[in-house]
Structure formats: structure tokens, C-alpha cells
Structure 1
Amino acid sequence: MTFTPPNPFTTRPTLQGTFGMTASTHWIATATAQAVLERGGNAFDAAVAGAFVLHIVEPHLNGPGGDMTGVFATAEQPGVPIVLMGQGPAPAAATREHYLAEGLELVPGSGALAAAVPAAVDAWLLLLRDHGSWQLDEVLDFALGYARNGHPILARVCDTIAAVSDLFIEHWPTSAAQWIPGGRLPVAGEIVTNEPWARVLERLIFAAADAAETREARIDAARSEWREGFVARALVEFGTTAHRHSSGTDHRGVMTLADLAGFQASFEPAATAVFRGHTIAKTGAWGQGPVLLQILTILEGFDDEHLDPSTALGVHTILEAEKLALADRDTYYGDADVPLDYLLSFAYADSRRQLISEHASHEFRPGTVPGVTAFVPPMRTAYLPPALAVLGAEVQFVGVGEPTVAAPAAASAAEPVVMPSGEMRGDTCHIDVVDRWGNMVSATPSGGWLQSSPTIPEVGFCLGSRLQMTWLEEGSPSTLTPGKRPRTTLTPTLVLKDGVAVTALGSPGGDQQDQWQLLYLLRTIIGGYTPQEAIDAPAFHTTSFPGSFWPRTWTPGGAVVEDRLGEDVIAELEQRGHVITRSGDWSLGRLSSVTKDPTTGLLQAAANPRGAQGYAAGR
């Protein structure tokens, strides 16, 4: 092993067994998914059950009104990676002209105008229908129980609610009624329920029970009820009332029943690249996924010494490759005809690799693609909309590139952060499952955070805010366009070796998801680290690109590092010109993973210790 050896004392062991493994960002979701495996369900049954529980136990990080992407392989075709596409499009009336006429310069980061068509629930039910084995009521029983009978609320959920309590009380009374009942903030560990969501789950189960005799038809009946029935009507009706957005102004939503009825989740082939003999599978370029493939293709041309994430040389090389790939993302990616074959070609990677010097770049440097006009996004180093500027608010941009108010450590932890307006962005969840038959799935649900828009009281959840990843400027593949998907940051990963899926992994973290997953891949594929050693090792990422989240700012040359990277390494990075933000010792990344050795049948699982929330389970 040429890499710096891992710390011999990891926070927890890499779990090993032969029956089944689960890892997620919350221990209750992990336990739920493992319980499904123990009762004979397969990896897809387990992932769906765990995902519906994540809606409840991490409501500040995802919700039924949000979106998800997954990548998986089946036991029957272990060498064929498949993408589960659960990213809804912009509504038909979500035109840039309408948003500009509303006085907006950016798509807001919260409020109904930020909402794409909700897609997560339909995607999970599609996965269950085609690849699961359980009935719908069996899978939803776990979530129904937690919604109706309660679960102990996380301290971080309480912190999120407290941070936006003024916004809820003054502008979003339905959210205050749900999360601050009687004007009292919840306390960590308190048992909280969501009866409206429990009733929704029951009605989906009833819709399935009333359907035809086949399991598939029953699940499809629940999908139809979700897209066209009482849920759709509640979402549309609520959006007709104007409410406060992150812009500091009030607007109505534009979503219609036709938008909701017209969307269905789907399966797609994965985009892939080969790195050191491993095939890495991601979403297409309508998502962020190919960024990781581009980075790996650039790094493939370096020797191992340049790729060690524990040395200044390695960190520098990785950061510079990330900047180049992310610049291409913001220039060329979107729900459009993206020249991905060219962007992933070895010749193009060679040309990009030549741009990496001994010093940190502070430029935005997309490549040149023949016959394609490059879009250069607005390069804002700070942004305050007029409605907030009159308040004299001061905004500090630190950490993961998301705005916060005098709280650098919080902004570095990939957790929700607050604007002076009360606007608050959430993060994401993740779940990985592998079963004894060899089914393997990695999925990243997100959006529909409790702080993304007002709670819809009839259903107990709110709409998402994924449209903030589109531009109101013309000429971008990601310009806001009715019927097109926003270029999501959700980016789970599947790794194949010798034609068989061997690893499923992912992380919350918005723009940082692929950057943190890259470190895991380098440390396990080249460095010989175990999964838990790779997750525990110090993390870092660049912020030298326009952020995907409102207000879409960047830090030229910016790099956020965990202090555990070491004083000598950090000092050399600063000498090379990186603009360093220290985030604390244990703050970056919420990775989890499961693996399978196809030769021995050994299964493994590992999860992030940061925040004491993510856990793995298995035997």
C-alpha cells in the first residue's frame, strides 16, 4: 500500500457477515431495513421500508414531497447497473418568464416556486413493484407505526425547528402547528408523531387493497392514488395561497393536477467509467453523477503518490481535478443532450489533466466541447436579495458553501443552515442494502425538508425545493424549463469489479456528495483501507464553483478541510494558494456503504460516525 496508513483505531468495526447488510444515515432506518432482511425480504423490500422511515425520522433532511435517485444491481444480472430515476420535472407553468415577472433573479431556495414535481414516493413504489417481493402494507407498516405512534426526535431536528421558528410563526402557520404545537419547541428525545402522514400511508394501503389481485397491480393502484388522488389535490390546493419564499417576498405556487398526474418514475441505464480496474456506475448528466466519473478519469493518469488524500500533494491534486469536473458540470450538464461520451473520453481527460499545476486555481475553467456553446453561470461571491438587503443583514459564506449566520462550524457539517430571512436549506439522507442473494442498492432520498416550504396540513409534509438548481439565465442546459428535470445533486454510487457489483455507497452533502465519495473510492481501491477506515479518515472538499443551492455563490480557490488532516498538510495547501476553511475534526461527510465479495460471499457494511446518527447493521 502506497497510501498513508489509516489510523489503527477506527470509530467502529467494519461489519462482516454472509446474510445481509444495511447502512443508512439514521439508526432506525437501518434497523428497519435489516428487520425486513431478517423476515425474508430482499434488498429492495428493505431499502423501500427504510426509506419511508427516513421520511419520518429525518424530516429536516428529506420528505415525501421530495425526490431521490438510486443505482442498483439485481442478483439475476449482477453486472448490469440500473438507475432508479426519482427526480421530478419543473411544472408546466414554471417558466423563467413567470419567475422574472415575479421580481426574482434566482429561483428561490424555499417556497412553492422552488418545488419540482414530487417524485420520491412514486420511485420507491416502482422499485418495490418491479424488484421487491413484499406486499405494500408489509413494507409501509414500519413507517406507519412511527408516524402514528411516534419516534424520539433528533436533537438536530429540534435545532432546525428552533432556527426557523420565527419564520414558521410569522409566515408559515401550518408548519408552526405541526412542529411547534401550542408554541412549544420540541425537545431532543421527545416522542413526536405525524398523524396526517399516517393517514396518507393508510389510504395508499387501502387503495392497493381495493385493486386487482396481482401484487404489481396493487402497488400501481397506490401509485395512481398518490399522483392523481387526494394527495395531489391537497398539494395543488395549498399552493394557491401566497406565502413567504427565501427571496423575502410572497408568491403562489404553479403546480397543477396535470403536473402531478403526468410524472412517473423510471429506470435508466447508468453512466459508467473505469478506474483502476473498477467500473463506477452513476446517474446520467441530468444529475451530478458523471462529475465523479470525470474526476476519476482525470486522476487515472496520475501515479498513486498523487492520489493519497492524506498528503498535501494528494489533496492538492484531488481538489484541482474536482474544480475542473465541477466547472464542466455547471457548464454542460442538465436534462438535455449532454456530450457525455466526449466529457468522459480519455483524450478530453488528458487535456484537462494538463491544467493541473503546483498552485491552486482560483478560476472557473470549463473545457471546450466541439460544436457546443459553453454556458458560463453567474459567478457570485455573495448575494443578498433586495428584500433582505434593506434589512441590513450580514451574510457569511463558509463551510460547504451554504450561507449561515455567524456559525462556521455548523455550516461545515452538511446540516441545514439559516439565512437572516429565516430561509433554511436542508441536506439529504442515504441508504445502502445488500442481501444474501446478491441484490445491491444505493439510494439518496432528499428534498421536501420541513423547512423547504409550508407544511400542507392534510398530508403532514411539504413540497421540495429542487428547482433552485436551475438558472433563470438563458442558454444553460439547466435553465428553468417546464417539463425538464433540474440538475440534481443526488448521486449514489455502485462499484463493479470483474463484471459484478461489489460496493454500494453514497452520502448526503449536496455539491460535496461526489467529492466525499471520491475519497472513499481512492482509499479503498488504491489505499487498501477497509470501508470503515475510509469513512473515518479525514475529509475535505472544494467550494471553488457556483453552488447548486440558493443563493448559488462560490469561493474562488476555496477548500474546506477537517482539522484532522494535519497542520503540516493544511499549511502546505495554503502555501499552494488554497483558501482554507477549517471545519473541525469530525464534520465533513456522512458516508455509508455495503460491499460483497463475489468469490467468498463475504458481506460488509460501514457507516459514518460524525454526528452519532448513521449506523450499519448486518450479520
Structure 2
Amino acid sequence: MFTTRPELAGDFGMVASTHWLASAAGMSVLERGGNAFDAAVTAGFVLQVVEPHLNGPGGEVPILLWSEDEEKVSAVCGQGTAPAAATIDRFTGLGLDEVPGTGLLAATVPGAFGGWLHLLERWGTWTLADVLEPAISYAEHGFPAVDGISATIGAVAQMFTDDWPTSAAVWLPAGRPPRPGSRLVNPGLAATYRRVVAEARAASGTREGQLAAARDTWYRGFVAAAIAEFCAATAWRDSSGRAHGGLLTGDDLASWEATAEDPLGYDYHGHTVYKTGPWGQGPVFLQQLALLSGFDLDTAGHLSADYVHTVVECAKLAFADREAWYGDPDFTDVPMETLLGDTYNRSRRSLVGETASHDLRPGRPDGRDPLLPAGGEATVPVTGGVGEPTVRADGRVRGDTCHLDVVDRYGNMVSATPSGGWLQSSPLIPDLGFCLGTRAQMFWLESGLPSSLRPGARPRTTLSPSLALRDGRPWLAFGTPGGDQQDQWSLNFFLSVVHGGLNLQEAIDAPMFHSVHFPSSFYPRQAQPGVMLIEDRADPAVVAELRRRGHTVRTPGPWSLGRLSAVARDGDFLRAAANPRGAQGYAAGR
């Protein structure tokens, strides 16, 4: 089949990401003797600079990795927690029934820095100064503005000018949005990272000591102090239409740290797929596999009406369970063993009929009654901005995400999905050169739900890297931006490889589809029952048959859904591929 570019193959190393500069930076680390973990951290920090509308230092990152030395998969949780003062009563007392989608109130502890440093310290070999050097250089000397940056800043330019002057000072050079391809700089961010490196070097002469000192500088030193002061001393207009300060304090940052844990896995057609725990939406990928394991997708035929219908209907059931059961397992009992069990999925599978369901149908694992937010099934019109762009067609501000994958010649593998701290999400902190994230908008301001707002809890993030083994050996690392769509687009890619027989690039380039049937994780949390989207490159006869079966089908542009990247260890060779949509994702390798 036609592909936009070749699948890369070689035996030295591969890096794939949502931006060519990050992929190049990661590959340069492999070329200079670094391992996959060094390369991933380097690329991750570059993404903060060159895709500031999609992630930033104030955001978060979940990471899945295979360590060849340990011969196991691990998950790094770089997802920050809600502030100690972030109670439901605190928000409702302000007259809010939802956490705002922008501004300081929605900030959680910025976990990206801690997540990347945990990966580097435990599994990497390079120093902090080495992995930060490319990001500092791009922030200080400039990088080309991709179309998405220009479009995003253009959409929020008036808000910056009227309400967020600290953001306007950095992102509206000469008082207007940057032109696509123009040079952008962020000297404030460069200065912050230079100071972190300098303080780390002054504190210790060893790599490990410098990493510990850098972590302390970020979460207990000048970075934490600047964040706490900004939240306490300033108030800014947010998506509620009113001005609010923030709730994050120095104690919130000082008490948080990134962690490593065992991921969840599921065996499917000779492959074992790993995802994060239910503090993120990752297990919904595994639930879809558990449902699909009882259907014959090979006989249905790749991207046939039967195939698409079955995948979409299973997604609806799995995501309904996400709504009813997922949350931070430190605060709520998530029955994952049952949700992935054969008996439960045999019963759930029987709900997939010949026609599209328009109901939200969570299950009753272990006989428990599902807990759903009130009004979570409200029907709304389909507008732009599903996954991309970062500002919707109706003008509402939202963010998207980045992704990167790395495999080295030793067999180490990384899949990471950094996000949050978008330039359009919150006013820029002038002393630091970056803004805070808004991941707390994923909490519900209703008590008693698995994902209710609780002080110190992790929001049920949509960020969802993927890693798969084949015959017990590392095989595939993959993922995509796209909010709620991540574990549909990633699943479609995986199924295209396993059932469609496509190579990595063919699977990325194939027409993509997804459902928006269930409540969104993002403000204002609305659902579109029965609605699915499929790129208009799909077979018109398939689209017609899906509509006959009761799906409300929308057909956006031919290259509009999905931003996947992937690396693989396949036989004698390493392989890589990246997304052509948006004209910025690239893979590099040899």
C-alpha cells in the first residue's frame, strides 16, 4: 500500500517522535554512546521547547520502558497530584461546578521534570547537563515555529493581550503572533534550566548527586518558590470567566516525587501489551483487547465495516468502564483484575450487537454498582479540535500532547507521552519562562466518584504510552497525542499491525477512526452518544454501511486523525515510523 515515507530499518538505534528536532536530538545521543533512556530524556526536554503548545515544564509525563539489564517492563509515573487545598468544597465555594480548563486553579504538581529525572537517574547514564544541552540551546537561540504554534497563539492572542500579559511578553513577539517558520526563543526557560544545572553542579561532583540536587532545586528550591509565590500572589482570568489565584504551595511540590511501578499487561494473539495503572486511562486499551479477543477480526477484514463496527462498539464498553471505575488507586478501589478477566469480558462481549449503541453502558464487576457523574451523557454538537488542533472551532482553548519512542542496539526501549503546561493553558510565570498545567480539570467536582477531586490524588490522565512484548521479548513501543482518542488511535495502529499485516509506517498511514460516544476527560466534559469519526479516505461503502448500522459518522479530512509514532525490535532489525499528519513528526535511525 501507499505510504507517505518508508519504514526505517537498521541495527544501531531508532527514535520516533512528534517533532523532527526531538527525534534528531534523541538520535544524536545514541550516536554519542548514550542509551535509549538518555536519548528519551534528551528528546523529552527538547519537546518542551519546540512544541510549547503541546507540552511544557509545568506538565506531566507517564513513561513505559523495557530495561534489558533488568529484563522487565516498568512504568514511571510523572503525573503530579492535586494540591492539599484542592477540595471539592473549595471549588464549589467559588461558585464552580467544574474545574476550569485554563488558569491557575487547575494546576497539579508539575511532574514532568521529576519523571524525566527518575528515568535518567535509574536507567540512564548521562549527566543532567548533557541531556538538557539541546533544549537549552533551542530555547536560547531559537527554533522554527510550526504551523500549530502560530495557529494556537493566534487563537489566544487577544486573551494574552487582555488578560495574560506575561504570556503575551513571550509568545507575541512584536505584539503579534509569530509567523509559521519564524524563529521563536524562550530565554526565560533557558535561564531556568541553566540555573538548575549550575546549582546541581555546585552541590555535587557526581552524576547521581547532581541529579538529586537538581530534583531538590526544582521541587524545594527556586523553581518551587517561584511557582508558590505566583499562585499565592496573582489572580488571572480563566475559562470560568473570572479571575482566580492558584492553590499550589511549596509544601505540595516538596512532598511529591516521581515513582516507578509494575505496569498492567494483557496477552493478545501472542503479544503482551503493557499500560500504566488506572491512575491513567491506559488500562482501557487492555480492556478493548480483552473484549476483542472473542471476535474474529482476521475474517472480518482490515478496515471493513464489520471490523470498524466491532472495534468501535468494544471501545464504547471499555470507555464506559473507564468512566465508572478508573481513578487514583491510592484513593479508590479499581477492580482491574475483574475488568480484565475472562468471565467479565465474556458477558460484556455479548452486548456488542449488529447496530450501534447510543447508551453509556458500564459494567458491574464483582456485582458492584457503577459510579457515574451526573449529566455525563449530555449530547453536544460535533465541533473541531478532537485531538487536534489545540484550539477548537468554537474558540474554546484546549491542549494536546506529544509522544516519543526510542529503542537502542542493546534492546532497551522507551515509550513516553509528555503533555500539559501548554502555553495556552495558564499564564506564564515570568521568573521561570513557563506556565503551569491544567490537568486537575480531569477531576469531577462530585464526591464519591473514582475520579472525584481529592487533595493529593492523581487526576485520571488521558496520557497513555504503550509497550508490547512478543514471545517475552521487547517488540514494540508506540503511542500518540489525542486526549481521549489516544487509546483508540493506538489500538487501531496495533490491530493494523497484528491483524492487518501492515508494517509500522503502513499502520500509521492507514485511515484512522475513533468514537466520541463517552464523556470527554476535558472541560466542559461533554459526550456525543453514537458519534464516530473516520478519515474521509476510508472506503465510502464502509462509511455507508456504518451509517446503516446506526452510527452517526463524521468524515473529517483525509489526514486529520492520529499522530502516532513507533519503534520496534523485529527479528534482526530495529524499525521506526512516524506520523505524516501535521508535517512535523519524524523518525530517525540507522
Matches within 5 A, 1:466-485: 466-485=439-458
Contact 1:25 1:613 in 2 (8 A): yes
**3-state secondary structure, aligned to 2:130:** helix
User: 2:370 maps to which residue?
Assistant: 374
Out of 545, 559, 567, which is 2:518 matched to? 545
**3-state secondary structure, aligned to 1:504:** strand
Out of 97, 100, 105, which is 1:105 matched to? 97
Whether 1:219 aligns to 2:241 is no
Out of 142, 154, 157, which is 2:149 matched to? 157
Alpha-carbon distance, 1:192 to partner: 1.2
User: 1:447 maps to which residue?
Assistant: 420
**3-state secondary structure, aligned to 1:445:** coil
User: 1:457 maps to which residue?
Assistant: 430
| Percentage of matched positions with identical amino acids | 53
**3-state secondary structure, aligned to 2:418:** strand
Alpha-carbon distance, 1:136 to partner: 1.1
**3-state secondary structure, aligned to 1:210:** helix
Deviations 1:251-289 (A, max 9, x none): 111110000111100101010001101000000011100
Matches within 5 A, 1:467-546: 467-546=440-519
**3-state secondary structure, aligned to 2:365:** coil
Q: Aligned partners of 2:47, 2:436: CA distance in 1, in Å?
A: 16
**3-state secondary structure, aligned to 2:417:** strand
Out of 38, 60, 63, which is 1:67 matched to? 60
User: 1:279 maps to which residue?
Assistant: 272
Contact 1:235 1:456 in 2 (8 A): yes
Q: Aligned partners of 1:342, 1:24: CA distance in 2, in Å?
A: 35
Change (3 A) 1:35 1:517: same
Report the residue type matching 2:388 in the other structure.
Answer: A
Contact 2:415 2:479 in 1 (8 A): yes
**3-state secondary structure, aligned to 1:370:** helix
Alpha-carbon distance, 1:381 to partner: 6.2
Which runs of 5 or more residues in structure 2 are unaligned? none
Whether 1:41 aligns to 2:14 is no
Root mean square deviation of aligned Cα: 1.4
Q: Aligned partners of 2:189, 2:47: CA distance in 1, in Å?
A: 13
**3-state secondary structure, aligned to 2:199:** helix
Which runs of 5 or more residues in structure 1 are unaligned? 1-7, 384-395, 399-403
Deviations 1:518-541 (A, max 9, x none): 111111112211000000000000
Whether 1:607 aligns to 2:578 is yes
Alpha-carbon distance, 1:305 to partner: 4.0
Q: Aligned partners of 2:438, 2:393: CA distance in 1, in Å?
A: 16
Q: Aligned partners of 2:437, 2:327: CA distance in 1, in Å?
A: 19
Contact 1:164 1:423 in 2 (8 A): no
Report the residue type matching 2:116 in the other structure.
Answer: W
Alpha-carbon distance, 1:248 to partner: 1.3
**3-state secondary structure, aligned to 1:362:** coil
Change (3 A) 1:618 1:324: same
Report the residue type matching 1:416 in the other structure.
Answer: T
Deviations 1:19-72 (A, max 9, x none): 000000000000000000001100000000000000010000000000010100
**3-state secondary structure, aligned to 1:82:** strand
Q: Aligned partners of 1:552, 1:93: CA distance in 2, in Å?
A: 23
Range moving further from structure 2, 501-510 or 176-185: 176-185
Query: What's the TM-score once normalised by structure 2's chain length?
Result: 0.97
Alpha-carbon distance, 1:213 to partner: 3.0
Change (3 A) 1:135 1:561: same
Out of 351, 355, 361, which is 1:359 matched to? 355
Out of 3, 16, 20, which is 2:9 matched to? 16
Contact 2:377 2:518 in 1 (8 A): no
Query: What's the TM-score once normalised by structure 1's chain length?
Result: 0.93
Matches within 5 A, 1:118-517: 118-240=110-232, 241-305=234-298, 308-335=301-328, 336-370=332-366, 372-380=368-376, 397-398=381-382, 408=384, 411-412=385-386, 414-418=388-392, 423-517=396-490
**3-state secondary structure, aligned to 1:486:** coil
Deviations 1:539-584 (A, max 9, x none): 0000000000000001110101101112111111011010111111
Q: Aligned partners of 1:523, 1:96: CA distance in 2, in Å?
A: 43
Contact 2:378 2:528 in 1 (8 A): no
Alpha-carbon distance, 1:214 to partner: 2.6
Change (3 A) 1:412 1:254: closer
Count of residue pairs the alignment pairs up:
586
Q: Aligned partners of 1:309, 1:489: CA distance in 2, in Å?
A: 27
**3-state secondary structure, aligned to 2:40:** helix
User: 1:616 maps to which residue?
Assistant: 587
Change (3 A) 1:249 1:308: farther
Alpha-carbon distance, 1:207 to partner: 1.8
Q: Aligned partners of 1:494, 1:218: CA distance in 2, in Å?
A: 30
Report the residue type matching 1:362 in the other structure.
Answer: H
Whether 1:116 aligns to 2:108 is yes
Contact 1:67 1:447 in 2 (8 A): yes
